[in-house]
Amino acid sequence: MLDIAEELNRWVEQGRDFAVATVVATNGSAPRQPGAALAVDTDGTAIGSVSGGCVEGAVYELCQEALETGEPVLERFGYSDEDAFAVGLTCGGIIDILVTPVRTSTPGSARDSGSAGDPVDSTADTLAAALAAAARGEAAAVARIIDGPAELLGRALLVRLDGSHTGTLGGHPALDHTAVEQTRALLDAGRTTTIEIGADGSRCGQPVVLLVESSVPAPRMIVFGAIDFASALVRVGKFLNYHVTVCDARPVFATRTRFPDADDIVVDWPHRYLDSQDLDSRTVLCVLTHDAKFDVPLLERALKLPVAYVGAMGSRRTHLDRLQRLRDVGLTELELNRLRSPIGLDLGARTPEETALSIAAEIVANRRGGTGVPLTGAHTPIHHDGGRTVGRIGSVA
């Protein structure tokens, strides 16, 4: 759901009632992962996707029904259904979809099915708060009950990094406490997954399964070297939803005119700028400076950081010379093995745009666990988990 937070938040602000269908579990070759969502408002406008087209029509109808009844519903689509081909899920996978109506047209009046508490604890208000937080780019996670007592289906909690929360799951008081703690840990790791806890907050008793969706600020891509190839890479990085920074020590090249799509343009020595940044494990660093006086001090630091990717442009001869220079300043072979150089996958790229595509392809393959080989004739999975934990619930009907 949080993948379409900006659009849904606008609907909330406009007082438009809608139903949101969220993928809560998958099995096999499902096209979308847990958290993917499709929403339909009372006028029939639809945004988002839950299956890449396979079951969109059937889910669209479920959303319309939920808007009429005001009741959440959990539905399964897949090859085990007799009407699998009728709804179009022919890829051989199974997806479980939770559809939740969200009524915002009367402020403060929205209540989820079975709720008898204060309006601020309603599922609709909690989801609205989660959408607003995600739209503002804040780190927040929403946990929703997707399996358990029928009266609790769809109940939601919004959890922030500081441990504060909005809403209630509506069961045993300890359930909220346990859910908040576990959701906070998943948010800290930026993970979307399912978890199972007892309805009383313990691991015992009747289980409650939660889908936890984490929304964290966009991952960072830092491009060092304000060259033509960098301009193309910035555009591709933005397309992949990175927050893109261009850094170069030369003010004549590091300009907004040359890089209109960049989020930030920094004029500084690359290694000095890197030293000033607090980077996380999702950050990708692309070194396009192609000059030893910039590359070596920069890579000496970059290869010691817990970032997702470090790539450097240059010929194979340049790469060998660079490796020796980095050994001379004390880098270990283990650290050097983290360097992707020459940067990018072998696509036969020549133009800046083609080269940017090859770099982006390597970043995606590294992030998702792909091999980079053609799918035609291969026996590798089409969809990789790539380190993103995707839960599977076995008891959803």
pLDDT of residue 325: 94
State mean pLDDT over 341-352: 93
pLDDT of residue 25: 87
149-175 pLDDT, tens digit each: 888 899 999 999 888 999 999 877 889
Angle at 280 between CA 373 and CA 141, to 5 degrees: 95
Domains located in the chain, CATH noted: 18-102 (no CATH), 110-217 (no CATH), 220-368 (3.40.50.720)
CB half-sphere exposure, 105, CA atoms < 13 A: 9
On the CB side of 63, CA atoms within 13 Å amount to 29
Identify the CA nearest to 153 among candidates 71, 94, 227, 83: 71
pLDDT of residue 113: 36
The mean pLDDT value for 344-361 works out to: 95
Lowest mean pLDDT among 13-27, 41-55, 112-126, 380-394: 380-394
- Distance, C-alpha 359 to centroid of its chain: 20
The band of 217, judged by pLDDT with boundaries at 50, 70 and 90, is confident
For the ranges 167-176, 205-214, 290-299, the one whose mean pLDDT is highest: 290-299
> What is the reported pLDDT for 204?
58
Joined together, the tokens standing for residue 204 give: 């015992």
